[in-house]
């Protein structure tokens, strides 16, 4: 593919030889002859001599560089387009495998692919162009939308509603029982978990995620939210639109997370918490109660600027402790002299 064609694809402007052949797209350090890559930050500009790519995607043209460049408004977006162009191929419908269990009354849309060893329970609906890979279980009364991609070994239990263009990675369980018990008569009595889960459009769920069904009502993951691997979302949690949840986050029951929230890795959210939209919680932080819009870090989480100041003090504690002990020694010595 000529560089001129690539510029047209990403709506960019060329500086340099537009006739060179581009055969792939790759990261800055992995790129080789024939590849196109992109400049994500000034760090890469400083290391341009290490780059072996045949062309660069840039925000602004770089001076004194011989490699042909394409200037675009957003290099990240342009690079995503090229990755899709070079490597993401349309999936051909495979039909319904005879080695899967599919009840006759299952409502299946057009061009659906169901691979071997999928088990589908009664009264299930599956939308057009959805792909379900092997060893997946789908419980009764579940609805799966159009253009969904469900990877192997996923469990989608009963009474689950999944929207369009949802991606669910391997090992994930949607609709497992919420963790609800009442201690009575010297034992833990299980609270029946009779609600469901709603996954709205354009959600992506990573590998080995658990999303518990509601006690009553629904656990809700709203449109456009992206969930990383190994996340636990408890019963009756409501997560807003376009929220990012990074690996190993745990969200306890009945919590509400707003729109466009970012929960970094290993964040813990206590039960019945409410986090306002556009809030960022830093890695390994713990929150409880009502959290106003802002950036927070630490356990318990405090405003990030305050946390930075606290960390600066914390690193000095050994020195401060040493000084305190020295003061104590001197005070003791003074008291001894006075008593004499």
**Alpha carbons 150 and 170: distance in angstroms, whole number:** 8
Active site residue 235: yes
Following CA atoms 15, 19, 24, 25 in sequence, which dihedral angle do they give, to the nearest 10 degrees? Answer: 10
Fill in the DSSP letter of residue 258.
-
Task: Report which DSSP code applies to 177.
Answer: P
Q: How far is 285 from 300, CA to CA, in rounded Å? A: 7
Question: What does the block give as tokens for 69?
Answer: 């460049």
Task: Kindly tell me the burial class for residue 183, based on how many C-beta atoms sit within 10 Å of its own C-beta (0-12, 13-18, 19 or more).
Answer: exposed
Asked if residue 21 lies in contact with residue 35, where contact means CB atoms within 8 angstroms, the answer is no
Contact criterion met (CB below 8 Å) for 304 and 285: no
Per-residue exposure over 115-135, b if at least 16 CB sit within 10 Å of its own CB, e if not: beebebbebbebbebbbbbeb
Q: Which residue in the block uniquely carries the two structure tokens 């890979």? A: 133
Active site residue: 85, 169, 235, 304, which one? Answer: 235
Cα 155 to chain centroid distance, Å, stands at 19
Catalytic site positions? 235
């Amino acid at each position: 593919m000529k560089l001129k064609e690539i510029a047209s694809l990403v709506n960019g402007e060329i500086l340099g030889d537009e006739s060179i052949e581009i055969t792939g797209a790759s990261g800055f350090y992995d790129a080789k002859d024939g590849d196109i890559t992109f400049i994500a930050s000034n760090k890469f500009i400083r290391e341009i001599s290490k780059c072996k790519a045949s062309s660069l995607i840039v925000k602004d043209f770089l001076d004194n560089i011989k490699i042909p460049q394409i200037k675009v408004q957003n290099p990240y977006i342009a690079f995503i387009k090229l990755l899709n162009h070079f490597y993401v191929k349309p999936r051909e419908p495979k039909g319904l495998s005879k080695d899967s269990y599919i009840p006759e009354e299952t409502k299946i849309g057009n061009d659906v692919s169901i691979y071997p060893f999928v088990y589908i329970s009664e009264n299930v609906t599956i939308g057009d162009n959805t792909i379900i890979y092997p060893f997946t279980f789908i419980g009764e009364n579940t609805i799966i939308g159009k253009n969904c991609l469900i990877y192997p070994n996923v469990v989608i239990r009963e009474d689950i509603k999944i929207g369009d263009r949802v991606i669910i990675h391997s090992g994930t369980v949607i609709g497992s029982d919420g963790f609800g018990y009442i201690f009575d008569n010297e034992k833990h009595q299980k609270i029946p978990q009779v609600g469901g889960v709603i996954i709205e459009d354009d959600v992506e769920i990573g590998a080995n995620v658990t999303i518990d069904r509601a006690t009553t009502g629904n656990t809700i993951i709203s449109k456009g939210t992206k969930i990383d691997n190994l996340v636990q979302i408890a019963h009756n949690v409501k997560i807003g639109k376009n929220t990012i949840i990074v690996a190993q986050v745990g969200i306890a029951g009945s919590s509400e997370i707003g729109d466009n929230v970012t929960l970094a890795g290993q964040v813990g959210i206590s039960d019945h918490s409410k986090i306002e939209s556009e809030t960022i919680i830093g890695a390994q932080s713990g929150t409880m109660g009502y959290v106003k819009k802002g950036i927070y870090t630490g356990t318990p989480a405090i405003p990030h600027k305050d946390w930075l100041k606290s960390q600066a003090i914390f690193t000095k504690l050994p020195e401060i402790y040493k000084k305190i002990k020295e003061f104590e020694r001197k005070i003791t010595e003074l008291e001894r002299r006075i008593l004499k």
